[in-house]
């Protein structure tokens, strides 16, 4: 426990008054005005008394035990959301104490309503609360709290740093989605703007054999079963339910762009979790692979709602690196790990210089898997494109923006010409767009 003593306002006021009296007596003596010896003696006596009392009060304060302090806070927090933290105190002193308290939160966590003052009565516990808002994801370690104790004579204040360890994890803002579990999936998806399209054609997974019915196509007839039964037998199909989705998430420098409170990378994480929630509810398996990250991570596709917790724990502390995205290497590693056909969702921020490398990597990946490229577009580009041009500088910005968007659109068109669909979306719209595309393919049986 570290401690720092400082004089209170009362002590400073007394010393200032005594100093003023000493200056006054000295000025009178300098002007030749007689000053009674008793006045000087009284001033010195009071000064010595104040110094002795101040020393004694400081010793009492230094030996006074600190209150016992406990911190109560959630073990997990949602990025960007306010949460309540409570501090509980108790002490063994025989008099009431008025304490000022400040909790030292780690960098990346914002606080409100700190510091606070609390009066602790003998034999009673006291507590106070404040609000905490994380602005970064990851694991955060709390180490200490700061309290300010008054001395018995109120001549000193002791600033003490108490060791109060604690940890919390900050996850992507996925808490709002759990409320959707209480509703039907279709109703919940409609509230976030997801469009469901009618299913076309037949499913791809065999379900059962049954007698041929009016309206069945000749392609459904199982000729071997028909020969054995000597009556037309048809095959019945259903939508494939054991499909796999793998997110190929760019953790490179381009995803560090900031739109509002969240970076492109945080928007991408939220979108991945949103689509994972929907796909797992549909019975599909979901996995994730990172590229351009400091620590490469791979989560194999697994079905079941427990996979959502694995994804949350696997990505909550991911951070963007300064590395460029190496699409070719990421595709080669994914092809080694993912043998079964899957829907691979590549989430990145495309530039025209990615043309040759990305096109070659996507074509290689498309030979074995269904590929969807989600390219995040900065909000500022749309703002500049729609802004009224009035000056030469604004005209240059407008032309540069249009040139950049045209080059970007050209890359998207070249990918589309090779059968690789591209979603060109703003970060905040990525989640609903991914879910809408997934459901349309799911209903059409084209995953």
pLDDT grade for 202, boundaries at 50, 70 and 90: very low
Q: What is the DSSP letter of 178?
A: G
pLDDT tens-digit map of 83-123: 999 999 988 777 888 899 999 999 999 999 999 999 888 87
pLDDT of res. 198: 45
pLDDT grade for 394, boundaries at 50, 70 and 90: confident
- Sequence-ordered list of residues with C-beta below 8 angstroms from that of 417, at least 6 positions apart, any chain: none
Residue 314, helix vs strand vs coil? helix
Q: Which residue has the higher pLDDT, 198 or 24?
A: 24
Q: Find tokens 């780690």 and name the residue.
A: 106
pLDDT of res. 197: 46
Task: Evaluate if residue 432 carries a pLDDT over 70.
Answer: yes
Nearest to 264 by CA among 427, 29, 446: 427
- Sequence-ordered list of residues with C-beta below 8 angstroms from that of 418, at least 6 positions apart, any chain: 359, 362, 363, 366
Tell me what percent of the residues of the chain surpass a pLDDT of 90. 35
pLDDT tens-digit map of 288-324: 999 888 778 899 999 988 999 999 999 898 888 888 8
- Sequence-ordered list of residues with C-beta below 8 angstroms from that of 364, at least 6 positions apart, any chain: 331, 335
pLDDT tens-digit map of 118-168: 988 887 788 899 999 998 899 999 999 999 998 888 899 999 999 999 999
pLDDT of res. 144: 93
pLDDT tens-digit map of 229-272: 888 998 876 655 568 999 999 998 888 888 777 889 988 998 89
Q: Which residue has the higher pLDDT, 103 or 5?
A: 103
Mean pLDDT value across residues 53-65: 90
Would the pTM of this model clear 0.85, i.e. be above it?
no
Answer whether 57's CB lies under 8 Å from 155's CB: yes
What is the token pair recorded at 7? 């004089």
What is the rounded CA–CA span in Å between residue 392 and residue 135?
38
pLDDT of res. 71: 94
Answer whether 288's CB lies under 8 Å from 244's CB: no
Nearest to 325 by CA among 298, 296, 301: 296
């Amino acid at each position: 426990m570290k401690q720092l003593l400082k004089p209170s306002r009362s002590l400073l006021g007394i010393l200032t008054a005594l100093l003023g009296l000493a200056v006054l007596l000295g000025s009178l003596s300098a002007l030749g005005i007689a000053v009674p010896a008793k006045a000087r003696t009284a001033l010195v006596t009071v000064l010595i008394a104040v110094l002795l009392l101040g020393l004694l009060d400081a010793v009492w304060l230094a030996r006074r035990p600190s209150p016992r302090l406990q911190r109560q806070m959630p073990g997990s927090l949602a990025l960007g959301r306010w949460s309540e933290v409570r501090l509980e105190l108790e002490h063994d002193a025989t008099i009431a104490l008025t304490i000022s308290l400040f909790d030292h939160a780690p960098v990346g966590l914002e606080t409100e309503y700190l510091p606070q003052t609390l009066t602790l009565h003998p034999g009673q516990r006291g507590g106070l609360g404040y609000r905490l808002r994380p602005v970064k994801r990851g694991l955060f370690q709390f180490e200490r709290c700061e309290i300010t104790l008054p001395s018995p004579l109120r001549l000193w204040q002791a600033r003490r740093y108490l060791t109060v360890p604690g940890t919390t994890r900050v996850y992507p803002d996925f808490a709002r989605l759990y409320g959707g579990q209480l509703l039907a999936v279709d109703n919940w998806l409609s509230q976030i703007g997801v469009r469901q399209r009618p299913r076309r054609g037949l499913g791809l997974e065999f379900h059962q054999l049954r007698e041929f019915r009016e309206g069945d196509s000749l392609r459904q007839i199982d000729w071997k079963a028909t020969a054995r039964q000597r009556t037309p037998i048809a095959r019945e199909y259903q939508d494939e339910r054991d499909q796999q989705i793998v997110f190929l998430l760019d953790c490179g420098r381009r995803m560090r762009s900031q739109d509002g409170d969240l970076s492109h990378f945080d928007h991408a994480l939220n979108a991945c979790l949103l689509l994972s929630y929907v796909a797992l509810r549909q019975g599909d398996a979901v996995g994730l692979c990172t590229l351009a990250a400091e620590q490469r991570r791979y989560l194999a596709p697994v079905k079941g709602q427990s996979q959502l917790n694995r994804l949350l724990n696997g990505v909550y502390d991911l951070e963007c690196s300064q590395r460029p995205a190496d699409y070719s290497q990421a595709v080669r590693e994914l092809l080694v790990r993912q043998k079964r056909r899957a829907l691979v969702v590549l989430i990145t921020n495309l530039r025209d210089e990615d043309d040759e490398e990305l096109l070659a990597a996507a074509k290689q990946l498309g030979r074995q898997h269904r590929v969807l490229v989600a390219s995040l577009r900065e909000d500022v580009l749309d703002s500049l494109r729609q802004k009224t041009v009035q000056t030469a500088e604004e005209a240059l910005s407008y032309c540069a923006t249009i040139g950049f968007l045209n080059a970007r659109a050209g890359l998207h068109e070249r990918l589309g010409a090779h059968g690789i669909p591209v979603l060109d979306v703003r970060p905040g719209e990525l989640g609903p767009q991914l879910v809408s595309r997934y459901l349309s393919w799911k209903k059409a049986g084209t995953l």
